[in-house]
Every structure is written in C-alpha cells, then in structure tokens.
Amino acid sequence: MNSRFLSLYLLCAIGCTASFSTFASHTAWTVWESMSVDNVSGIANGEIFLDDNPILITFTGEVNGGSHLNGVSNYWLPPSTYTSGEVDNPPEYQGRIDFWGGSNNINTITFSKTVANPVMAIVSLGQISIPSSFVFDKPFVLLNQGSGLFGGSDSSLTQPAENTLYGLEGNGIIQFIGNYTEISWSNPLHEQGVGWTVGVIATPLPNPAALMLSGFALIILIRSKPFLPDLAKT
C-alpha cells in the first residue's frame, strides 16, 4: 500500500476508534450474605462491591423463606430480561429477597453511603391471574421487562403511577434516578413468591480492547511520520 494512503488510513482508524465508546459500564449487584426470616420484621444484610469500596446494604421488612443467599441459585434468567442500555449485566448467583406481600408494612433498603441512580431487579411480581404491586416512596423508571423463570412477557409489568409497579407475572429492572441512602416501599397485594435485589451502576472503566487498538494505531502512525508530509501533495 502506498505510504501516503497508509498514513491516511491510520488517521481514519484512530478517528473511528475514538468515535466508539472506549468505556464499558458494569452493574454491581448486592451480594446477600445473611438474613433473618420474618414476614414482617425480617432483616437481610449484604454488600455491593463497587470500585474496591464496598457499600453495606441493610434491608428491614418482609424476608420470606423463599429468599436465597449468595451462591445458592440463579433466578435471573434469561439475562436479556434484566439488562438494558443502562444495565450491562444481570444479577446471577448473588441471591434475592423474597416477598409474599399483602400488607402495608414498610420495607426499607439502607445504603451505608450515598449511591447514584440505583437499580432493582424483580422476578415474578404477581401471577398470571393474581396481580401484585410495589408502591415506592420515590419515583422510578422501568428500564426493561420480559419473560422469567416462571413465565411472563414484555408487557407483564406496568407503571400506573410514577412510584408504583404493577405485575402479572412480571420480571424486569427499574431505576431510581438521583442520589439515595434509603429506599422504602410496600407490597399491598398478596401473592406467593416475588423476588428482588438491588444494584449500583459502576463508574464506566476504560475498555482495554478499544484502548489497545488506539495505541497500536498511534504507534504505527508515529513510525510512519516521515511519510505524513506526502498527504499535502496532490
């Protein structure tokens, strides 16, 4: 290839590389480590490992016997239901907290420090013919929904109010926009077996593959520097 065109090609390669995102985000989901089962005043504790600086999670409220600690099982399938443009990776074996609902008891997640734009994954809110709902003390955005381990579809969750999630075998992820140390909600409609967990989207980190491509192109371009003046010739 003519050196003039090689230099031009490399310049374009660097420009194209820069135009793609050189960052890859990651959602750190709660690793549930301990729990005390009680349908009214249960307690669960976990950690979110974010940027090597763990956030302690304390949950008080309903902790049903169907709840699972870290490493027991993965209810967050298929992964496509629990990801979106904002959430790159679903929860897996980190555990879940299980509800039956049917009361106005208040359930509360407390973060050990302020978190930005936390996300919640929910599996099996309601059944096909038995509705259930989460009524939060804060507004949220429904990011994605779909089928789950027990059924459901991409229309099984609805949001009748800015702070209310309604499900008929609903599965998906929601996000609370803003900075929070605490989130509370009730589950006033009884049905057996809705699970949830909470996570935080990490600050995007450099994408190694994209950075390597940029660096490689730049090195070759520098080595071909003597040919760059040819670009001005016609």
Query: Left if phi > 0, otherwise alpha if psi is -120 to 50, otherwise beta: which for 178?
Result: left
Q: Is 234 exposed, middle or buried (0-12, 13-18, 19+ CB in 10 A)?
A: exposed
How do the pLDDT tens digits run along the chain, 234 residues long?
Answer: 554 444 444 444 444 444 334 444 799 999 999 999 999 999 999 999 987 789 999 999 999 999 999 999 999 999 999 999 999 999 999 999 999 999 989 999 999 999 999 999 999 999 999 999 999 999 999 999 999 999 999 999 999 999 999 999 999 999 999 999 999 999 999 988 899 999 999 875 554 444 444 454 445 545 555 544 444 444
- Name the helix (H) or strand (E) containing 19: helix 3-19
**What percent helix, strand, coil does the chain show, rounded to 5?**
20, 45, 35
Asked if 59 and 43 count as a contact pair (C-beta separation under 8 A), the reply is yes
179-187: strand order across its sheet: 31-36, 38-48, 55-63, 103-116, 179-187, 132-136, 164-167, 157-161
Per DSSP, the residues of 58-123 read: EEEEEE-TT-B-TTS-----SGGGG--SS--S---SS-BEEE---EEEEEEEEEEEEEES-EEEEE
* Tokens, residue 60: 């008080």
Dist. CA 206–CA 121, nearest whole Å: 26
Tokens, residue 213: 């491509």
Question: How many Cα atoms are found within 13 Å in the side-chain-facing hemisphere of 30?
Answer: 28
For the chain, first and last CA: distance in Å?
17
pLDDT computed for residue 52 by the predictor: 77
d(CA 162, CA 82): 20
